[in-house]
Amino acid sequence: MLTARSTFAGIYVTQNDLMKTLVEQFNAQMRDAIRIGQSQSATLTIAKREYRNIVIAGMGGSGIGGSVVSSILFDRLAVPVTVVKSYDIPAFVDAHTLFIACSFSGNTEETLAAVAQAQAKGAAIVGIMTGGELQKIAEQHHYPHILFPGESKQPRANMGYSVFLLFYLLEACGLIDRSFEADLLETAALCEAHEDAIRTQAQALALALHERLPIVYADARLESTAVRFQQQVNENSKQLCHVNAFPEMNHNEIVGWENPKFLLDKTAVLFLHTAYDHPRVRQRMTLCRPVFEAQGATVADVKAEGQSLTAQIFYLTHLLDWASVYLAEANGADPAPVAVINRLKEELTKLSK
């Protein structure tokens, strides 16, 4: 629902209360996710298995949670993690696979198709959802699962639940210990303490991105965080955005910074930084900056606060979520609806009948 127009930092914009309210509630959501994780994971009955791999299935706002958790636990888990964002699952899935199905609505067709295949292969299935068909399947087959609130009707606004609850599920399955919880508590406290500064920085960032194509670069460990921002710019700001990671982009994309010249000087490069970036990636970013600036691109640095990697990733996530909402205002767009996605789902439903 659009409300009255107002002026945002000199730009005539359209304000929307719904998505702003959801971003404002993010800190409270993280606290609630910890509460739910503590209470529901304690009651889960999970048969012990020798897990040799983990597959996390989810799409959009649900799928990005799996990517973020995989990044955070990259050097902590003893078994490999694969995030599936499609209908099909890897051939290696078997009885030694922990298969985690994540769906905000519980009705995501790609995730349900993946679950059916995982069932046929005898995988150990667990889930995170608000309800829907996935909950019915979990209850029918006695699959351990965690439920979280779905009143927002906006999957992308529930990353606190989708990420935090994955940690609790992995702990319940015996794959990590409870030490992760200290990082979650730090994360919630950090974002609460920096809320005003985050909003101020996000407004300035939105102005820097307005009427430019955002190109976001980060250390490979942070690629999922950059992709999350890309998705928020797409859905909230109704705008295209491009993402790549160091050092891989130095082996191909850097050469592309020559053409088309009419577009390159309309780009805004964002470097995402954490204390966990590889030292050589920091050097690569420094060396690449003049390459981008020579083509007319603006270059800005977005630096994380906090101690743990989890806290730093969520600091950036909250900051960039705010930036996407402010950018929507600058674009005169309502950040809440995703009409094209809904029409696509309707047409797919017709074709399946």
Say which of 85, 121, 242, 345 is annotated catalytic.
Answer: 345
CA-to-CA separations, 296 to 80, 264, 286, in angstroms, rounded: 41, 6, 17
Q: Which residues pair with 244 in a beta bridge?
A: 217
Q: Could you identify the residue written with the tokens 């491009």?
A: 242
CA distance 214 to 208: 9
238 is catalytic: no
The CATH number for 44-178, chosen from 1.10.645.10, 3.30.365.10, 3.10.20.310, 3.40.50.10490, is: 3.40.50.10490
Which residues, 6+ apart, have CB-to-CB distance to 194 below 8 Å? 305, 315
318 is catalytic: no
Say which of 110, 223, 235, 329 is annotated catalytic.
Answer: 235
Strands 11-16 and 2-8: antiparallel
Q: Please state which CATH number belongs to domain 2-14+195-330.
A: 3.40.50.10490
Cα pseudo-dihedral 300, 303, 309, 311, rounded to 10: -120
Q: Which residues pair with 7 in a beta bridge?
A: 12
How far is C-alpha 319 from the chain's CA centre?
13
Per-residue pLDDT tens over the stretch 50-88: 999 999 999 999 999 999 999 999 999 999 999 999 999
Q: What is the pTM of this model?
A: 0.92
Task: Let me know: does 132 contact 145? Beta carbons within 8 Å.
Answer: no
Please tell me if the domain spanning 2-14+195-330 has the same topology as the one spanning 44-178: yes
CB atoms within 10 A of CB 163: 26
Domain spans, the chain: 2-14+195-330, 44-178
**Angle, alpha carbons 166-183-48 (nearest 5°):** 40
Per-residue pLDDT tens over the stretch 147-174: 999 988 899 999 999 999 999 999 999 9
Phi, psi of 290, deg, nearest 5: -65, -25
pLDDT along the chain (353 residues), means of 10: 32 60 95 96 87 97 96 96 98 98 96 98 97 98 95 91 97 95 98 98 97 98 98 97 98 98 96 98 98 98 98 98 97 90 87 82
Residue 16 is predicted with a pLDDT of: 53
How far is C-alpha 67 from the chain's CA centre?
7
Say which of 251, 261, 350, 353 is annotated catalytic.
Answer: 251
235 is catalytic: yes
